[in-house]
A and B are shown apart, each in its own frame.
Chain A
C-alpha cells in the first residue's frame, strides 16, 4: 500500500464524483446488487430469518469469551495453533515471526479486509517477503498500487480498459480489454505464485466454535489453493467473526453470500480446521489462527455500538448507500468503506480522526433496510455524532466543533421561545431583501453560513407572512362554526 498523504473526506469525495469510470461502475453495481439484495430479503421463504439470525448473533457476542475458548480448544486438539492478538502490532509481530521461523520468501493472500486493517502487507514486505494478492480484484488493485474501494469488489473503481492497460504494462501481455483474456492472464501469473508460495495468508469469514473450523467463501478458487498448497496457512480472524453452532454458521453464511452477491451459495466454501494429519493428508503442514481484537473489545463493551460487531462484511450497505454510490470507497480513507465503514472505522481508529465519516451521511436509512443482520447503522451514526457534539472521555473523544456547538446552543435558545424565533425571522426577513433575485429566490452564492447551500442551489426567501400570522389573520376566523374549542385554543395559545 502506498503512503500517499490522505485526502480529506470531502476532497476524496470530489475526486470520486469527478471520475466518470467510477460513476459508471457504481451505478451498475448499485442497480444490480443493492436493489437485488432487498428483493432477496423480500422473497425469503422464512421472513423471520434475518431477525432470528441477528438475535443469535447478539447472543453469541454476549458469550464471546466462551465461544472463542471452544473454538481454540477444538483447533488446538487438531494440531492447529491459535494466537490472541490484542493489537494490530501484536498480530503483525506474530505473523512475521511465523514467516521468519520458516524462512518464508513468498506469501499468497486470500482476500482479507482485516489484513488491510492491521497493515500486514507492509510489515512482511519490509522484511523482504513478497506478498501476492490472489483474489482477482485485490490482485488488480495491488499491481496498480491502489487500494480496495469496495469490501467485496475491490477494483470497482477501474474499468476493463484500465485493467487491460495495467496488465499490458505489468504482466507483459498484449493489450486486451476482453475480460476472459484478462482473467486468463491473471490466472497464469497467479498460478505460478500459488505453486511456489511458502505461506498462505487469509482472513476468516466466519468461524464455528462447535466444530472448531474457520470458513472462507470465494468465487474464484484462489482461497482453496492459498490454504492448501503452501506448507503454512495463517488465518487472520476478527474476534467477533464466530458462530456458536454449525446451524448458526450455515444461516449466517447464506445471508453473507446473498447480501454480497445474491448467491444462495458461493462457488467455493472452504472449511479449515487445522493442519494435515495422518489419515487426513489434505491441508498445510502448519495452521495458525490469529484472533484479533484491535479495538473490538471496546466496541463489545459499549451497548450503544455492540450491534456493529454483528456485521458479516457482506457489503450490501455499500451497494445501496446513495452517498457511497456517488463518492466511491476511497473517500472513506479506510479498508472499510460505505455505511459500515462510516461506523466501524471511527470506532476502531478514532472518532475525532474520522469525524467526517460520522457526519458525512444523510441518515436516509437504506443501509438499515438492506443489512442481512438488520444493523441500525443510522442509529449508530447519530450516536457517534452525539459523542462528537459534547466529547466522551470513555472513547477519548473531544468536542468536535466548538463553533457548531455554540451555534446549536444558540439555536436551542431561539427555538425554545416563539418570541425569539419570530424576532430572528423578522431580522432575516429585513436583511434578505437585497439578496432576492428577480425570480423571487436567492439565486446566487451567499457568503458565510449560507455558502454551503447557495453554491449549487437557490434558496427560498422567508415568506412575507409566517403560517402563524396567516392562522391568526385568516384561518382562525373560519373556525368558529366547526371548531370552537380548537379555535380558542389557537387564539389563546402562548
Chain B
C-alpha cells in the first residue's frame, strides 16, 4: 500500500465543546482505515463567526493563528463544511493586502478538506463497512454544498452503509436557518426556516436526519427537541463509525 499522509484533525469549536462524540467518531473511522492521525492541541476556532459578522480584524488574527498552528500539517481534515469553506475561501480574502500571508492561506486551504470530501475525493473510499439500520434523510448544509460543491460525497458514503435506507427530502439544500449570529439576532426568522426544514424532514419518512455540519444539526436538533419530536439528528461521522470493524 502506498504511503498515506498523516491526517491532522481540525476539530472545530462546536464539536470540541458541545459534540466531542463527533470527533470520537471521526477518529474511529480513520482508525478503521489505519490512517495516521495528529491533533494540534492549541486549536480553537476558524474565525468564521467574526468574519460573517463583519469583524474582519478579529477574524484575520484568528486566521493567522490557525495558519501558524496547522502549517506543518500534510493534510487537514475537519468535520464541518462551513469551517473548511472559511479556511479555503475566506482566509485568502482576509489577507488581500498581505501577499505573503495570502499565499500561505491559499496553500493551507488546498490541504484542508471536509471529512466526506477527503474520504471520497482523496482516498477514494465510499464503503467504510459501517452498519446502521435506519431510514436516513440527508441535509445539505449551505457552505458545504454551495461553496465547496460537496453534494454527492456524503450520499455515496451513506449509500454504502449496511441496513441504511437513504430517502431524499424535498429542498434538501434549503438553509436550516442557523446562519451563525443570525440565529440569535433574528430568532423568529431563524425558527421559521428551521420549522420549514423540519416539515421536509418529517415528510421524507426518515427516522434519522444526517448532516455534515454540527451547527445546522444543533439548530435542527434544538428546534425538534423543543417541539418534542423524536427524529434522531446525527453527524455523518457518527453513522459511518457505527457497526462492526471489518
Contact = CB atoms under 8 A, between A and B. Distances in A.
B1 to A, nearest CB: 12
B57 A390 contact: yes
21 contacts: A10-B189, A322-B193, A327-B189, A359-B185, A360-B182, A360-B189, A362-B178, A363-B142, A365-B143, A365-B147, A382-B51, A389-B54, A415-B47, A418-B44, A439-B225, A453-B183, A463-B21, A467-B16, A470-B20, A482-B35, A494-B42
Contacts of A465: 20
Contacts of A323: 189, 193
Nearest to B192: A326
B19 A460 contact: yes
Interface string A379-416: 00010111111100000000000001100110110011
A195 interface: no
Contacts of B97: none
A460 B222 contact: yes
B185 to A, nearest CB: 6
Interface of B: 6-8, 11, 13, 15-21, 23-24, 27, 31, 34-45, 47, 49-58, 61-62, 65, 69, 72, 142-143, 146-147, 173-175, 177-180, 182-194, 196, 218-219, 221-223, 225-226
Contacts of B34: 482
Nearest to A399: B54
Question: Closest 6 interchain pairs by CB?
Answer: A494-B42, A452-B184, A385-B54, A362-B179, A486-B38, A483-B36
B182 A361 contact: yes
Contact of B146 (A17, A361, A369, A408): A369
Interface stretch (A129-137, A212-220, A266-274, A472-480): A472-480
A455 B175 CA distance: 20
B50 A411 contact: yes
Contact of A466 (B16, B37, B223): B16
Nearest to A457: B222
Given A482-B36, A490-B41, A458 B17 contact: no
A365 B20 contact: no
Interface in A1-17: 9-10, 13-14, 17
Most buried by A among B34, B49, B58, B177: B58
Interface string A338-382: 000000000000000000000111111110110000000000001
Contact of A389 (B56, B174, B186, B225): B56
Contacts of A475: 24, 27, 37, 39
B188 A17 contact: yes
A459 B219 CA distance: 9
Nearest to A483: B36
Contacts of A17: 188-189, 192
B45 A13 contact: no
Nearest to B217: A460
Contact of B183 (A390, A404, A452, A485): A452
Contacts of B185: 359-360, 452
B39 A493 contact: yes
Contacts of B179: 361-364
Contacts of A449: 184
Given A453-B222, A490-B38, A462 B52 contact: no
Contacts of A415: 13, 44-45, 47, 62
Contacts, number: 233
Instruction: Name the prevailing secondary structure of the B interface residues.
Output: helix
A366 B184 CA distance: 21
Instruction: Name the prevailing secondary structure of the A interface residues.
Output: helix
Contact of B142 (A365, A443, A453): A365
B77 to A, nearest CB: 12
Contacts of A425: 17
B65 A456 contact: no
A365 B146 contact: yes
A407 to B, nearest CB: 9
A87 to B, nearest CB: 29
Interface of A: 9-10, 13-14, 17, 322-323, 326-327, 359-366, 368-369, 382, 384-390, 404-405, 408-409, 411-412, 415-418, 421, 425, 439, 441, 443, 449, 451-453, 455-463, 465-468, 470-472, 474-476, 478-479, 482-483, 485-487, 489-490, 493-494
A453 B40 contact: no
Given A10-B188, A471-B23, 12 more contacts: A359-B182, A360-B186, A360-B189, A363-B179, A365-B146, A390-B55, A408-B55, A418-B44, A456-B187, A460-B221, A485-B38, A490-B37
Contact of B23 (A460, A470, A482): A470
Contact of A455 (B8, B56, B187): B187
Contacts of B6: 483, 485-486
A459 B37 CA distance: 31
Given A360-B189, A463-B18, A456 B184 contact: no
B38 A412 contact: no
B18 A385 contact: no
Nearest to A442: B222
Contacts of A366: 142, 146, 173-175
A493 B20 contact: no
Given A386-B56, A412-B58, A362 B182 contact: yes
Contact of B222 (A458, A463, A467, A487): A458
Contact of B218 (A388, A443, A460): A460
Most buried by A among B36, B54, B175, B182: B54
Contact of B54 (A368, A382, A416, A421): A382
Contact of B55 (A405, A459, A476): A405
Most buried by B among A389, A409, A425: A389
Contacts of A493: 39-42
A408 B53 contact: yes
A457 B216 CA distance: 13
Contacts of B31: 478
A471 B69 CA distance: 17
B20 A466 contact: yes
B56 A486 contact: no
Nearest to B178: A362
Given A322-B175, A362-B179, A412 B50 contact: yes
Contact of B58 (A388, A411, A462, A466): A411
B90 to A, nearest CB: 8
A460 B110 CA distance: 33
Contact of B52 (A326, A363, A467, A482): A363
